[in-house]
């Protein structure tokens, strides 16, 4: 069963990829499959970007043969994997049937041996459910959303490949296998973000995501190397058993004798910062919106960005032994939650608003990890998958209804045109903001309470920033709802043509809406209550004091997140329903602050100044001076060119005429005699 869960998406990816290749060859005889982009009109029909993308005047390209087959195959296989995952969740989480499934020996090098094995425990079971459920619904949604795209077999293949890579990651039994899945989701994200590769913006976003993640992955790889250097193994069970023996040991890191456990955990967390878009390595996440909306839902809700959270939870036995590393995790998570919430206040692109809320919620998850409440962080990961996927897919339904318009300033009044989408997005927003008894209410409030009960130096810092972020999240989330669905239409033409999405899109929205309500209370005791130890057993190293402290926080602490949520909702309703003139006036009065937030704290500009421009300057110098003037100047354009010039001139003496050679001999003899005469002759 477990092997089927992992391999069914891979099978779907292979079959859909084969269909895509065959279809491409039939449409373009004699051309390589990579040439499929020539003149595609329909490939941009669903481009979630500016309206001008809808007016590409290239000749239309027919849909690939077998598109329906690719959609049915990949979606059906994901549905089967999803059902099996829920069965595994029940067996493992509630039945305690944890096991290790060894498949084959993967790497042998001397004494170094790595098996490819599936580690099935409660932590894995939670991730299997999250990944396959959201991915299955995204596959179904994509059948409707990508209906006009001629390359949807390739798209479906990429989605299934993404899912396989994430499943490989969460079932890994050693760090090499985990790294395989880790890089696999990185590759798949590059392919999906840049799916419409004829768009410069999509190419740039894909490259940016790939490069920024390589920065984090470099640290992650160093962390794995350090683990092997200190323990001689990368097997998880052996690592956890030997971890206490590293207490007090140091690693010579560029002359600095660093605590071994702290350095290892910080390097590993560096990888999590890149993959989960934490503060400083977050810049790729908003640009990832250049991919189709189903990609955004898959990346932001169930796969790539949650990989870092899962990795920290999986390696909790290591992190628990390094208070310094946990303090850094708490600091980064809290800062990310606040930073992303402030930027989300002023964004106008419907998908970017939801993207920044993802960044902020990931910060919440790392706060929980940092204070030792790993199960609580996983609880929020579990609930977040439902309401965040719902908000992204709901945004896609709005974009379709508005003929691919994404600016919420050009919307308004849509609740009457697309009522089902409206109510599902309201449910998603209620869950995101922590409205009582929704899924987000139980998990998000538990994180804030855990931060208050935490013992590390940044716990109270995290408590304060997560509380503030809760109010900001409510404000900008309801701002999106009010400006999109309420008020008067700002684009009458698109409003008049707006209509509800087809059933294949609405069904996933309905399922996710139910999950956004029911994924909280039934699981509360297993993630943040008295059954945590029974549910997770040895799959994570839980801080019992923090979990116990959650149930004994003062009443004002328990009520604060709800109060902040209601405050954010109230202010947003006042600003955008009754006094819409206030936000514009505030933006003019506080122009510096508004631009600071609108430009995302100028991180892109800062990185451009610190890294991009110097790199370009160095590259240009090496090209023009190093390669052009020095290497080419001394080589091809210098010595080689002079030798060639001399050779060409000497060749001209070889005329083939006898009298020319006789004349040359005569000149030579005359020169020789003259030299003898003036040198005094032979002595």
Round to whole Å and give the CA distance between 404 and 395. Answer: 10
In tens, the pLDDT along 169-205 reads: 999 999 999 999 999 999 999 999 988 888 888 899 9
Q: Return mean pLDDT, the chain.
A: 86
Yes or no: say if 429 and 481 are a contact pair by the CB < 8 Å rule: yes
Query: Among all chains, which residue has been given the structure tokens 């508004």?
Result: 594
Stated pTM of the model? 0.86
Element (H, E) at 101: strand 99-109
Mean pLDDT of 479-489: 90
Instruction: Return the biggest CA–CA distance within the chain.
Output: 121
Instruction: Identify the pLDDT of residue 580.
Output: 87
* pLDDT tens-digit series, residues 321-359: 999 999 999 999 999 999 999 999 999 999 999 999 999
Decide if 337 contacts 451 (C-beta within 8 A).
Answer: no
Q: Write the CB contacts of 163 (distance below 8 Å, at least 6 apart in sequence).
A: 9, 78, 81, 131, 132, 135, 298, 303
**What is the model's pLDDT at position 63?**
54
Asked if 477 and 357 touch (Cβ cutoff 8 Å), the reply is yes
Kindly state the percentage of the chain with pLDDT values over 70: 93
Question: Which pLDDT does position 31 carry in this prediction?
Answer: 52
Which residues have C-beta within 8 Å of that of residue 651, sequence separation ≥ 6? Answer: none
Quick check: 485 and 397 in contact, CB under 8 A? no
What is the rounded distance in angstroms from the CA atom of residue 371 to the CA atom of residue 166? 26
Radius of gyration of the chain, Cα coordinates, nearest whole angstrom: 31
CB atoms within 10 A of CB 379: 29
d(CA 48, CA 101) in angstroms, rounded, equals: 42
What one-character DSSP code corresponds to residue 28? S
User: For 671, phi and psi rounded to 5 degrees?
Assistant: -65, -40
Q: Which has the minimum average pLDDT: 35-44, 158-167, 618-627?
A: 35-44
| pLDDT tens sequence across 504-551 | 999 999 999 999 999 989 999 889 888 888 888 877 887 778 888 888
Angle ∠(518,519,520) on CA atoms, nearest 5 = 90
At residue 252, the pLDDT reads 85
The dihedral built from the CA positions of residue 666, 668, 672 and 674, taken in this order, carries a sign that is positive
Can you give the pLDDT at residue 232?
87
Look at residue 490 and give its three-state secondary structure.
coil
Query: What residues contact 566, with CB distance under 8 A and at least 6 apart?
Result: 474
33: its two tokens: 């499959």
Joined tokens for residue 200: 């410069």
Per-residue pLDDT tens over the stretch 264-313: 999 999 999 999 889 989 888 888 888 888 888 888 776 788 899 999 99
CA distance 194 to 235: 35
For residue 230, how many other CB atoms are within 10 A of its CB? 19
Instruction: Decide if 64 contacts 153 (C-beta within 8 A).
Output: yes
Q: Which of 183, 56, 172 is nearest to 117 (CA)?
A: 172
CA distance linking residue 234 with residue 433, whole number of Å: 40
For residue 356, give the nearest of 279, 291, 440 by alpha carbon: 279
- Residues 390 and 424: beta-carbon distance below 8 Å: yes
Among residues 189, 163, 166, the alpha carbon closest in space to that of 177 is found at: 166
pLDDT in tens, 553-597: 999 999 999 999 999 999 999 999 998 889 889 988 989 999 999
- Residue 72: the pLDDT is 92
């Amino acid at each position: 069963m477990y092997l089927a869960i992992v391999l069914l998406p891979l099978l779907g990816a292979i079959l859909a990829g084969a269909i895509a290749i065959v279809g491409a060859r039939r449409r373009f005889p004699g051309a390589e499959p990579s040439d499929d982009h020539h003149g595609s009109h329909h490939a941009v029909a669903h481009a979630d970007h500016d309206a001008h993308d809808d007016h590409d005047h290239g000749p239309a390209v027919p849909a690939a043969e077998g598109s329906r087959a690719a959609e049915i195959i990949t979606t059906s296989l994901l549905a089967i994997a999803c059902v099996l995952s829920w069965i595994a969740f029940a067996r493992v989480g509630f039945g305690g049937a944890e096991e290790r499934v060894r498949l084959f020996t993967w790497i042998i090098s001397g004494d170094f041996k790595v098996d490819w094995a599936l580690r099935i425990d409660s932590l894995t079971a939670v991730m299997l459910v999250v990944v396959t459920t959201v991915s299955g619904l995204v596959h179904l949604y994509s059948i409707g959303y990508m209906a006009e795209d001629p390359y949807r077999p390739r798209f479906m293949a990429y989605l299934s490949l993404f899912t396989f890579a994430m499943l490989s990651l969460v079932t890994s039994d050693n760090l090499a296998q985990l790294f395989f899945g880790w890089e696999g989701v990185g590759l798949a994200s590059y392919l999906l973000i840049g799916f419409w590769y004829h768009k410069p913006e999509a190419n740039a976003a894909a490259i940016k995501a790939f490069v920024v993640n390589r920065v984090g992955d470099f640290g992650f790889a160093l962390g794995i190397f350090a683990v092997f250097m200190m323990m001689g193994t990368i097997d998880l069970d052996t690592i956890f058993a030997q971890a206490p023996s590293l207490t007090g040991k140091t690693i010579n890191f560029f002359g600095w004798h660093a605590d071994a456990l702290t350095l290892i955990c910080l390097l590993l967390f560096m990888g999590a910062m890149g993959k989960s878009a934490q503060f400083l390595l977050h810049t790729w996440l908003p640009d990832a919106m250049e991919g189709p909306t189903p990609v955004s839902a898959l990346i932001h809700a169930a796969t790539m960005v949650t990989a870092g959270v899962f990795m920290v939870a999986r390696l909790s036995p290591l992190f628990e032994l390094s208070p310094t590393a946990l303090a850094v995790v708490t600091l980064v998570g809290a800062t990310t939650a606040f930073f992303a919430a402030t930027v989300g206040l002023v964004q106008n692109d419907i998908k970017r608003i939801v993207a920044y809320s993802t960044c902020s919620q990931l910060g919440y998850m790392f706060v929980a990890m940092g204070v030792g409440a790993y199960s609580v962080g996983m609880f929020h990961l579990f609930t977040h998958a439902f309401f965040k996927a719902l908000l992204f897919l709901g945004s896609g339904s709005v974009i379709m209804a508005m003929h691919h318009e994404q600016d919420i300033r050009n919307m308004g009044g849509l609740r009457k045109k697309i009522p089902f989408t409206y109510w599902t997005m309201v449910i998603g927003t209620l869950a995101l903001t922590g409205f009582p008894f929704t899924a987000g209410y139980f998990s998000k409030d538990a994180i804030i309470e855990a931060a208050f009960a935490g013992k590390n130096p940044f716990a109270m810092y995290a408590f304060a920033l997560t509380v503030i972020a809760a109010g900001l999240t409510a404000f900008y989330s309801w701002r999106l709802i009010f400006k999109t669905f309420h008020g008067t239409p700002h684009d009458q033409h698109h409003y008049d043509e707006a209509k509800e999405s087809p059933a294949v899109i609405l069904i996933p929205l309905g399922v996710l809406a139910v999950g956004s309500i029911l994924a909280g209370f039934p699981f509360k005791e297993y993630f943040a209550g008295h059954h945590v130890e029974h549910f997770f057993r040895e799959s994570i190293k839980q801080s019992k004091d923090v979990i116990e402290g959650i149930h004994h926080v003062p009443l004002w602490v328990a009520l604060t997140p709800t109060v902040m949520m209601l405050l954010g909702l109230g202010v947003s309703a006042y600003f955008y329903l009754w006094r819409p003139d206030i936000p514009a006036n505030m933006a003019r009065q506080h122009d510096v602050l508004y631009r600071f937030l609108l430009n995302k704290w100028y991180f892109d500009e800062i990185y451009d100044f610190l890294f991009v421009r110097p790199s370009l300057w160095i590259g240009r110098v090496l090209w023009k001076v190093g390669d052009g003037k020095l290497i080419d100047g001394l080589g091809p354009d210098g010595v080689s060119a002079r030798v060639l010039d001399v050779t060409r001139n000497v060749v001209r003496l070889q005329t083939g005429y006898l009298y020319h050679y006789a004349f040359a001999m005569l000149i030579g003899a005359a020169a020789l005699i003259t030299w003898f005469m003036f040198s005094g002759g032979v002595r």
